[in-house]
Structure 1
């Protein structure tokens, strides 16, 4: 596994994409940085961390997805891998908030951003960006943020955590095409607020519903108070917590 370690970079995702465009990189090439000056989250959000205290890295995945229909399966594999790796380090109550935020209890400790590119030959290459709050303890102005150090009251070896995630990811990627349902079942078992009444916001209005699960395409399935079941895409609805 090729691991490139950097001190500071604007974005590990951007760096890895540029590297692979210049000279095709091997599968699972990983770029990790002590600090990102322009880290990215879902839907253009910025991911800001204290230098040297957290884990920010990107992984190249190729020759896995046969078509775009399986893109969410890769999302599932990555999120499950992060939780399994943290559980292997004796961390408890780690959940996935749809679609791919990583929570400890009800506080966000990490996020995932996957950027896919369809090549002229039809193959799909994915750059997976993972940000994880590890040893940072001050999140002034971010009441929903936390870190591994806060929830466990100890400091961690960041490289050990990254290797645990990468090893879990290598194993789970094998299931993306061959046993996607098993991955999705595991994802459902880790899903934050599943089968619990929760408040959602859509188009400025709030309602109470119960998360039933996530569809194979990645839509959130919600049971409404009138017993109607509906599916929502990422940009359609927000879970308030």
Structure 2
């Protein structure tokens, strides 16, 4: 079903398809233990039974309806302190793929690891890194993207089908997604961090707009930056504050 990609340089030259599995990230991490593993390998499944997400949320995903995959990267050029750039390029790649099929500007990246369409979640990202000294040795980039899901089951979630009202070709979307990821990955590898961050902020949900958030208390905040380490920088009534992952929650 999912063919080796012809238009990429190194991503998707080896594709492991599994009709069902517990977690594509776990399988990809196991692949890293093999001596002959290589960058660009993709594990993809029709049905993931134990996928991991943020905040313990359940994510309804009908078998054969969506894109659920993990990609092995070897970003040894990237310092561990800069690992958030992998979140940046992955979310930009997913957003670009979605926008290619939706004739509107409603696709946004959401800090730290989601993609939204019309302010509803359409994709989640989970990146797991192994470090070697101060650099990243290997990365497993996991993605779950709602494509042909009918009835997502969450009020603040959606799918490409629910927006376009038409069924979409998963192999075609898969190819577009991997091509987009390779495009951004090569940009990162060539050192274009400022350009990538600028594009990320341009498409960042809540950037330069006051919204409701929750940490240990409720507050109004405006995102003004994202630090190199991935910390969210916000303007609040208490002044400029920075938040790490899971320290702050978007409300509306």
Using the size of structure 2 for normalisation, the TM-score is: 0.89
Out of 26, 29, 34, the residue aligned to residue 17 of structure 1 is: 29
Whether the 8 Å contact between 1:208 and 1:225 is mirrored in structure 2 is yes
Residue of structure 2 in register with 1:235 after alignment:
246
Residue of structure 1 in register with 2:83 after alignment:
71
Q: Tell me how far 1:229 sits from its aligned partner.
A: 1.1
Alignment of 1:96 with 2:115, yes or no, is: no
Alignment of 1:222 with 2:234, yes or no, is: yes
Shift of the 120–151 alpha-carbon distance from structure 1 to 2, 3 Å rule, reads: same
Q: Tell me how far 1:145 sits from its aligned partner.
A: 1.1
Alignment of 1:192 with 2:237, yes or no, is: no
Paired positions, count: 238
Residue of structure 1 in register with 2:73 after alignment:
61
The more displaced of 91-100 and 70-79 is 91-100
RMSD in angstroms over aligned alpha carbons?
1.8
| Structure 1: tracts of 5 or more residues without a match | none
> Deviations 1:183-203 (Å, cap 9, x if unpaired)?
111110110121111001011
> Deviations 1:123-162 (Å, cap 9, x if unpaired)?
520000000011111123x111110000111111111111
Whether the 8 Å contact between 1:38 and 1:47 is mirrored in structure 2 is no
> Deviations 1:178-221 (Å, cap 9, x if unpaired)?
11111111110110121111001011x10111111211111111
In 1: Cα distance, 2:208 partner to 2:228 partner: 18
Using the size of structure 1 for normalisation, the TM-score is: 0.92
Alignment of 1:133 with 2:146, yes or no, is: yes
| Structure 2: tracts of 5 or more residues without a match | 1-12
Residue of structure 1 in register with 2:120 after alignment:
107
